[in-house]
Amino acid sequence: MRDEKIFSLINEEKDRQTNGLELIASENYASEQVISAMGSILTNKYAEGLPGKRYYGGCEVVDKIEQLAIDRLCKLFNASWANVQPHSGAQANAAVFLACLNPGDKILGFDLSHGGHLTHGSPVNFSGKLYKPFFYGVKQETGLIDYDTLEETAKKERPKLIICGASAYSRDWDYARIRKVADEVGALILADISHPSGMIASELLNDPLDYCHIVTSTTHKTLRGPRGGIIMMRENIKNPYGLKWKNGNLKSMGALLDAAVFPGTQGGPLEHVIGAKAVAFGEAMTDEFKQYMIRVKANAKLMSELFLEKGYNIVSGGTDNHCMLIDLRSKGITGKDAEELLGKAEITVNKNMVPFDTESPFITSGIRIGTAAITTRGIDLVHIPEIVDIIDRTLTSSGDSSIIEEARIQTKNLMSPLPLFKW
């Protein structure tokens, strides 16, 4: 018997996605073959362990699928080791922490209120509860990473792990400088590239694997795959903790990370999602994907420039990647109100803390915008001025229902003819 209620709601969500303007920086649209793999009979198979080393029988086929995902990921990022089992980016980071730290160890991460992530040491997250977090942020006058504070704090506190990467930072990272600091204090570096991973794979941004010991990412943002996480390393170094196998040989970091994923933080891997990851990694190796990433970056750059022209404050003054963080205080509107107003016009953004925010995390002074999803649908440079104009008219409407309704109709007319996945 078909579940009419749930499939009716799925169709309702499809209509929402089709008619709306999706500007949440952490969202994207997956291809039909990614979705097909994710909804396949692979969901039926339990496969605890790694390819060739399972705790269940009948894994001959899923072993090939998971190994293909690993091989494609390593080729995509020029890595020598990878684990594709994490259920999410947060799970990937949790596994790295488990492999590299003991409870109470010091970590140095990018402040959540400046654009970092919950799993980089926030006190409400496991990373801030189990470990002793210290933070660096951005400079108030420029909105750029304060590498001087990062270095000073690292030398003073000597953390075991330095975390770089962000959920709301629009500029590239100086991984070489962070590695120099880490080497001086004896720390490992975790680069969380969940947001810009597609651009890094396409060689449009600096490569963290050149300098960072361990790199994590999600697969559903700019990589445009299924929801999930990954861990990888350029070089599978020997662990620095002296942990050995029974034969006396030092374990590799890869071995520690594998064990931290399973059985450390997860049970059976989601082989249907891993199959979909393999499809997405294959797509990301194509020329079409690189051209898509170039368009994402160009769309974001133009969008940020047009917002600046209209008097909006872009934190850090622009963008190098797919996203931008807009401080709305110059416009006299909160992030919460902006999100609600734009939602009425079928434009989806998320309220977001800005550096040195004067509002609470439930209100915020900013919104975060990204161009990955709209570019997947076929939005190009020619459409960006219209989109910025729609957003500006909505935010400056003072809640006038007629203006908002006009914006909603314009949004629907622009987006509804476009496929969810064009490139």
The span from the first CA to the last CA of the chain, in angstroms, equals 36
4 inside domain: no
21 inside domain: no
- For 273, counting Cβ atoms within 10 Å of its Cβ (0-12 exposed, 13-18 middle, 19+ buried), the class is buried
Regarding whether 295 and 153 lie in a shared domain, the answer is no
Q: Determine the Cα–Cα distance for residues 390 and 411; give it in Å rounded to an integer.
A: 8
Q: What is the dihedral of CA 105, 110, 113, 117, to 10 degrees?
A: -80
The CATH number covering residue 316 comes to 3.90.1150.10
Identify the active-site residue in 192, 258, 283, 327: 192
| Catalytic residue status for 331 | no
Band of the pLDDT at 256, cuts 50, 70, 90? very high
Regarding whether 191 and 119 lie in a shared domain, the answer is yes
| Catalytic residue status for 27 | no
DSSP state of 372: H
> In the listed set 284, 308, 327, which residue is the last one of a domain according to the structure?
284
Whether the pTM exceeds 0.95: the reply is: yes
CA 397: distance to chain centroid? Answer: 32
Residue 410 confidence (pLDDT) above 90: yes
Identify the active-site residue in 27, 45, 48, 344: 48
What's the average model confidence in pLDDT over 251-273? 98
Regarding whether 273 and 334 lie in a shared domain, the answer is no
Closest by CA position to 235, among listed 416, 81, 385: 81
122 inside domain: yes
Identify the active-site residue in 54, 72, 160, 221: 221
What confidence score (pLDDT) does residue 270 get? 98
- Asked whether 199 and 297 are in contact (CB, 8 A), the reply is yes
| Catalytic residue status for 48 | yes
| Catalytic residue status for 357 | no
Residues with Cβ within 8 Å of 277's Cβ and at least 6 positions away in sequence, in order, are 69, 73, 84, 219, 225, 226, 228, 230
Residue 423 confidence (pLDDT) above 80: no
> In the listed set 243, 262, 284, which residue is the last one of a domain according to the structure?
284
The CATH number covering residue 51 comes to 3.40.640.10
Regarding whether 233 and 90 lie in a shared domain, the answer is yes
Regarding whether 183 and 41 lie in a shared domain, the answer is yes
Q: Determine the Cα–Cα distance for residues 114 and 143; give it in Å rounded to an integer.
A: 9
Identify the active-site residue in 119, 218, 319, 364: 218
Tell me the pLDDT tens digit for each residue of 14-73. Answer: 999 999 999 999 999 999 999 999 999 999 999 999 999 999 999 999 999 999 999 999
Helical residues (DSSP H) of 174-270, grouped into ranges = 175-185, 197-201, 253-259
395 inside domain: yes
Query: How large a percentage of the chain has pLDDT more than 90?
Result: 100
DSSP state of 40: S
Tally of structural domains, the chain: 2
Phi first, then psi: give them for residue 234, nearest 5 degrees.
Answer: -65, -45
Closest by CA position to 231, among listed 204, 203, 276, 262: 262
396 inside domain: yes
Query: How large a percentage of the chain has pLDDT more than 70?
Result: 100
Tell me the pLDDT tens digit for each residue of 189-235. Answer: 999 999 999 999 999 999 999 999 999 999 999 999 999 999 999 99
Regarding whether 93 and 219 lie in a shared domain, the answer is yes
Pairing of strands 229-233, 313-314: unpaired
Band of the pLDDT at 81, cuts 50, 70, 90? very high
Host H or E run for residue 313 = strand 313-314
> In the listed set 284, 314, 334, which residue is the last one of a domain according to the structure?
284
Helical residues (DSSP H) of 245-284, grouped into ranges = 253-259, 271-284
Residue 418 confidence (pLDDT) above 80: yes
Identify the active-site residue in 177, 227, 238, 251: 227
Tell me the pLDDT tens digit for each residue of 93-111. Answer: 999 999 999 999 999 999 9
Regarding whether 120 and 269 lie in a shared domain, the answer is yes
| Catalytic residue status for 364 | no
Regarding whether 146 and 257 lie in a shared domain, the answer is yes
Cis peptide before 263 (omega within 30 of 0): yes
For residue 362, give its domain range.
Answer: 289-415
18 inside domain: no
Regarding whether 304 and 261 lie in a shared domain, the answer is no
What's the average model confidence in pLDDT over 142-148? 98
Identify the active-site residue in 18, 27, 46, 396: 46
11 inside domain: no
Regarding whether 343 and 251 lie in a shared domain, the answer is no
Regarding whether 304 and 178 lie in a shared domain, the answer is no
Regarding whether 250 and 118 lie in a shared domain, the answer is yes
- Asked whether 315 and 143 are in contact (CB, 8 A), the reply is yes
9 inside domain: no
| Catalytic residue status for 56 | no
Tell me the pLDDT tens digit for each residue of 123-139. Answer: 999 999 999 999 999 99
